Amino acid sequence: MVLVGDDRQLAPIDAGGGFRSLRLCLGASELTENRRQHQAWEREALDLVRSGLVDEAVAAYRAHDRVVVADSKPAATLALLQDWWAAYERAECDPAEEVVVLAARRTEVDRLNTACQELLAARGRLGAERLQVEDHHLAVGDRVVCGKNAIAELGVANGSRGVVTALDAQARSLRIRLDAATAGRSPFAGTPSRPRAPGRARTSAGTSGSR
């Protein structure tokens, strides 16, 4: 058995720490070269975070215009939506690009997803018809994240992402074109109990390890 991970990335919430204990008792090989961050200052900032020097890391991000300071939560949300919309328009020209908003709590994820959805609707990017799925109202053009495994029935797995391409509110069905990066399968049609949506904002834990 080979265990691969980082015991300082997502620490156990309550009881746990078995991975760290094994590393301390048995030793481990360590990857020392960071290939994800291309800029030297970004790699240095991450080293500061891992060392617990958060203030110094935040100062580095602010020095490179990676942190936006606002006077209030509504102001911060407005600035975030403006940046997200600009990035979304750029991504429309490049299918390989994905724009994601990260938040720490699911309540914030729901709030930001709703704000993004309203902005898309106002800019004419979503269809007029809506299909209610639990607490969400989906439209053609919405991005969704599938919340259950349905590989045998629909060819999707928990976490598969895609775009709603068609829906039938009366039949309570929809069609989703899956992202190649998350599934690589054909578009599927299915009942709306499968997807949770929208999928523009996610928790930072749920996106850990994603590009």
Q: For every one of its 211 residues, what pLDDT tens digit does the chain have, with 9 covering 90 and above?
A: 888 877 776 666 666 678 888 888 988 888 878 888 889 999 999 989 888 899 999 999 999 999 888 999 999 999 999 999 999 999 888 877 888 898 888 889 889 999 999 999 999 999 999 998 888 889 999 988 888 888 888 778 888 888 899 999 888 888 888 887 554 333 444 443 344 555 566 765 554 444 3
Quick one: CA dihedral 9, 37, 42, 96, positive or negative?
Answer: negative
Q: How far is CA 114 from the centre of its chain?
A: 15
DSSP helix/strand/coil, 189 = strand
With both helix axes pointing from N to C terminus, report the angle between 106-122 and 73-92 in degrees, rounded to the nearest 10. Answer: 60
67-115-136-173 Cα dihedral, nearest 10 degrees: -100
Give the DSSP H or E segment for 39.
Answer: none
104-197-153-171 Cα dihedral, nearest 10 degrees: 160
Q: Which two tokens stand for residue 107?
A: 């309540």
Give the model's pLDDT for residue 11: 63
Q: How far is CA 56 from the centre of its chain?
A: 26
CA angle (110, 10, 87) in 5-degree steps: 45
* 83 vs 67: CA distance, rounded Å: 12
Residue spans per domain, the chain: 18-63, 73-203
Q: Is 93 exposed, middle or buried (0-12, 13-18, 19+ CB in 10 A)?
A: exposed
* 106 vs 108: CA distance, rounded Å: 5
Question: What predicted TM-score, i.e. pTM, was given to this entire model?
Answer: 0.69
Q: Distance of CA 198 to CAs 8, 42, 59, 62, 86, Å?
A: 30, 30, 33, 30, 19
- 133 bridge partner residues: 136
